[in-house]
Amino acid sequence: TTPGGQYQPSLDTLSGKGTEQPGTKPGDPVLSKAEFDKANQIYFERCAGCHGVLRKGATGKPLTPDLTKKLGFDYLRDFITYGSPGGMPNWGTSGDLQTADIELMARYLLNDAAQPPEFGLKEIKESWKVLIPVAQRPTKKMNKLDIDNLFAVTLRDAGEVALIDGTTKKIELILKTGYAVHISRMSASGRYLFTVGRDSKINLVDLWMDPPQTVAELKVGSEARSIETSKFKGYEDKYAIAGAYWPPQYVIMDGVTLEPFKVVSTRGMTYDTQEFHPEPRVASIVASHFNPEFVVNIKETGQILLVNFKDIKNLKVTAIEAERFLHDGGFDKTGRYFLVAANARHKIAIVDTKEDKLVGVIESGGQTPHPGRGANLLHPKYGPVWATSHLGDETISFIGTDPEKNKPHAWKVVQKVAGQGGGSLFIKTHPKSENLYVDTPLNTDAEISSSVAVFKIKDLAKEKPEYKVLPIGQWSGISEGARRVVQGEYNKDGNEIWFSVWNNKAQESAIVVVDDKTLTLKTVIRDKRLVTPTGKFNVHNTRNDVY
């Protein structure tokens, strides 16, 4: 553990491993090999997600030396220490980084960006392990688990995923995975669970085994955030795809063994100015229900790729011009339209996955939309809508999604309401629920970041609907730490919603389960093994795109 109490990855999980120290120009601060390796590791773990490996910027500002040298050492050190209301975390005052680390980072940023090695099919294949061949796997479910109501919970800094029973709330199993698993997704059959680590390690877990077990592993690069499996009729459990941040590429693989078939680089032209971009990262990926396709969102070039896997030897890709800085998104309630946030452009792009074309790109109505997969609900005035909250302000926007019966409202922001404040990451409801939950884990006010706002859907008929605040952090019974409350996820029946209370690795964290009807505390899951829980993925809801 580093002085900040943070996760220190072992060498083989280290992102950016093998990165050569770039040469120093006259006047640049000189870093020893050990200092460079340390700074590089911190950069990969903390900074690259927003600023990019090549430091060309996306969600965060560009940090190339032409810019950082103008800002200077003192400015960089203070900015890293105190953060900014625009979304830069306060790494120093939060205690995550010590003064010496911050000064090291300020010096590191005055040097050229270091480029990590490429990772082609050869390296990907070398990382491939089938631990249990298909022939040795069971032909029916061998355990007593209620698989459909299991939750796969990311234990971020432990490099693990916990499988928690949705009814008993018992931790059934802890699986070793990649570092800081970003998301878990389910195969169409509901049998296989896929996880993708920030270090781009994929685990394929067979939930039929007793106990469930990782049956195959693969690495698709050195940085990744997304994974998905084919869901179109006839292709259930056939293919999987993973998107990497570094190298910028996606990999199509076998859905039950992870054998890598095809690596496709996303380097290329920006959709608008048509300039070459060396690092267009793969953001969210979803599987179409209307075509044998994956919807792959490329951040820096602003293209939405519809990757048709009918014949992967003759791969057909429809590249849709959308908007730069595509990030996260989800389907509308019919599963036909996909809505994705172009977060640094404050826009939402909408794709029709049946007709394979862009419906439009609209202003999200607030600053830096961050929907997660968004929330679908029946608005009392405007019919079916999809909602997003924002990182940069308190706005919650509702976008009409029914071009057939509610045409005048379709693909427009029909309403904006104010939540607790900015710093929101995820918004959630369920088809059976009357409530809409909005988290604010990155708000700088400790009370706001440790609670969630709940709106009654029927109150959206009012011009200024009020919300109730649920003090989830306090309900957890934990008194230490920032207790950031993040990402609501429903159980299978849609009558309870789970939130992570996310503290530092050295502190205690928890999961708080709320009764959706009464908005009261139902259960707190506290356990020494629940280290830094973040994302939670209910098998049934993830498999069926219920959100």
* Binding-site ranges for ligand DHE (CB under 6 A): 49-50, 59, 156, 180, 182-183, 225-226, 283-285, 327-328, 372-373, 425-426, 486-487, 534-535
**Closer CB to ligand DHE, 208 or 490, in the complex:** 490
Answer yes or no: are the C-beta atoms of 304 and 342 closer than 8 Å: no
**Closer CB to ligand DHE, 6 or 395, in the complex:** 6
Q: What are the distances in angstroms from CA 281 to CA 202, 247, 524?
A: 17, 8, 37
**Closer CB to ligand DHE, 79 or 246, in the complex:** 246
CB of 284 to ligand DHE, least distance (A): 3
The 3-class SS string of 312-330 reads: HHHCEEEEEECCCCEEEEE
Write down the catalytic residue from 47, 105, 186, 253: 47
Could you give the CA distance from residue 47 to residue 513 in angstroms, rounded to a whole number? Answer: 32
CB of 383 to ligand DHE, least distance (A): 24
Could you give the CA distance from residue 500 to residue 114 in angstroms, rounded to a whole number? Answer: 35
Write down the catalytic residue from 105, 182, 253, 327: 327
Could you give the CA distance from residue 386 to residue 375 in angstroms, rounded to a whole number? Answer: 5
Bridge partners, residue 286, by sequence: 295
**Closer CB to ligand DHE, 382 or 538, in the complex:** 538
CB of 177 to ligand DHE, least distance (A): 12
Could you give the CA distance from residue 79 to residue 103 in angstroms, rounded to a whole number? Answer: 11
CB of 266 to ligand DHE, least distance (A): 13
Residue 408 CB coordination number (10 Å): 10
CB of 429 to ligand DHE, least distance (A): 12
Could you give the CA distance from residue 194 to residue 328 in angstroms, rounded to a whole number? Answer: 18
Write down the catalytic residue from 50, 142, 209, 269: 50
Residues 339-342: contacts with CB under 8 Å, at least 24 apart: 339/371, 339/374, 339/386, 339/388, 339/399, 339/401, 340/283, 340/284, 340/297, 340/304, 341/369, 341/370, 341/371, 341/388, 342/302
CB of 141 to ligand DHE, least distance (A): 26
Do you find a cis peptide bond into 9, omega within 30 degrees of 0? no
**Closer CB to ligand DHE, 106 or 427, in the complex:** 427
CB of 227 to ligand DHE, least distance (A): 7
Which amino acid, 71?
A: L
Residue nearest to ligand DHE (CB): 49
- Respond yes or no: is residue 346 known to be catalytic: no
- Respond yes or no: is residue 409 known to be catalytic: no
**Closer CB to ligand DHE, 235 or 246, in the complex:** 246
Could you give the CA distance from residue 54 to residue 112 in angstroms, rounded to a whole number? Answer: 9
- Respond yes or no: is residue 289 known to be catalytic: no
The kind and range of the H/E element at 515 are strand 510-515
What is the three-class DSSP state of 343? Answer: helix
**Closer CB to ligand DHE, 55 or 327, in the complex:** 327
- Respond yes or no: is residue 430 known to be catalytic: no
- 215 Cβ neighbours under 8 A, 6+ residues apart: 130, 131, 132, 137, 204, 205, 206, 209
Q: What are the distances in angstroms from CA 382 to CA 230, 348, 378, 401, 415?
A: 33, 19, 8, 9, 9
CB of 350 to ligand DHE, least distance (A): 16
Write down the catalytic residue from 182, 277, 346, 370: 370
- Catalytic residue numbers, as ranges: 47, 50-51, 88, 327, 370
